[in-house]
Amino acid sequence: MADSFGPVTGGDGEGAVETGADANGSRTEPIRVLVVDDHALFRRGLEIVLAQEEDIEVIGEAGDGAEAVEKAADLLPDIVLMDVRMPKRGGIEACTSLKEVAPSAKIIMLTISDEEADLYEAIKAGATGYLLKEISTDEVATAIRAVADGQSQISPSMASKLLTEFKSMIQRTDERRLVPAPRLTDRELEVLKLVATGMNNRDIAKELFISENTVKNHVRNILEKLQLHSRMEAVVYAMREKILEIR
């Protein structure tokens, strides 16, 4: 695969306990990865790259979304590394079924598609990461570890497109909320705005002069108040409900 992709942007997790981790949060078993792509050569390249990582194990591969669902049901991977556009059944379409057969699996879209619509639909379908295939080989493993640890990963160029799409979405609709949105504190709004820019917990803590644990608590409270499951969903909700605006 290409070895020219810039750094990915991500955020720390919301305190989820990962399987295969000890009491200190250190992983005791390899991260089990299912590789899904319609190009056999690309799948083989990923397998060779990831085989060099002691803490990552490729447990299977699939050539389309339908096969990915079958393999995931049998193998129960920790991470599904999947292309967006494939024959028979695409990656985005397969996301919901994957979540049903392997609820603990986290999905990273690894694709050549830089279309805003694909990015947005992937997030809505439950993907935790969206990376372009220009990513460097070193960063594939880094992204897998980050997502396994509860973070979200998105290519910087796509992060900016995501925010642009959110803003356009707001501008296209004048719908009013029928029920009041859950009230966030001023500090929670500050944290949410920084999350929306792609900053991770460490950087948010530095920006607001608070501890990283405090940031994690704020993120957890935001998700609980909004009854959402991920940082990306919180940003989508906040933009749609006009809780915050990104200029």
**What six digits make up the tokens of 205?**
């803590």
Q: 10 Å Cβ neighbour count for 57?
A: 15
**What domain count does the chain have?**
2
Contact 148, 121 (CB under 8 A): no
Q: Which of 124, 156, 188 is the last residue of a domain?
A: 156
Over residues 16-50, the pLDDT tens digits come to 333 455 544 556 789 999 999 999 999 999 999 99
13 and 73 in a single domain? The answer is yes
pLDDT tens digit string along 135-159? 887 788 999 998 998 888 887 677 7
Do 85 and 181 belong to one domain?
no
147 exposure class (CB count in 10 Å sphere: 0-12, 13-18, 19+): buried
CA distance 5 to 132: 8
Show the tokens assigned to 208.
Answer: 């607001």
- Cα separation, 172 vs 21, in Å, equals 45
Residues 146 and 180 in one domain: no
Residues 45 and 103 reside in one and the same domain? yes
Residues 134 and 184 in one domain: no
Taking the C-alpha atoms of 99, 147, 71 and 53 in order, what is their torsion angle to the nearest 10 degrees? -170
Domain holding 89, by residue range, is 9-156
CATH number at residue 94: 3.40.50.2300
Same domain, 105 and 218: no
Say which range, 131-135, 145-149, 216-220, has the weakest mean pLDDT: 131-135
| Global model pTM greater than 0.85 | no
- For residue 232, the model assigns a pLDDT of 74
168 falls within a domain: no
Domain identity same for 81 and 134: yes
Do 34 and 87 belong together in one domain?
yes
| Bridge-based pairing state of the strands 129-132 and 31-36 | unpaired
Return the CA Rg of the chain: 18
Chain segment 157-214, per-residue pLDDT in tens: 777 666 666 666 555 444 444 455 678 898 998 998 888 776 788 889 999 999 999 9
157: phi > 0 → left, psi -120 to 50 → alpha, else beta; which? alpha
CA-CA-CA-CA dihedral for 229, 101, 97, 75, to nearest 10 = 110
Q: Looking at the domain assignment, is residue 2 inside a domain?
A: no
CATH code where residue 234 lies:
1.10.10.10
pLDDT grade for 231, boundaries at 50, 70 and 90:
confident
Which tokens sit at 22? 């000890």
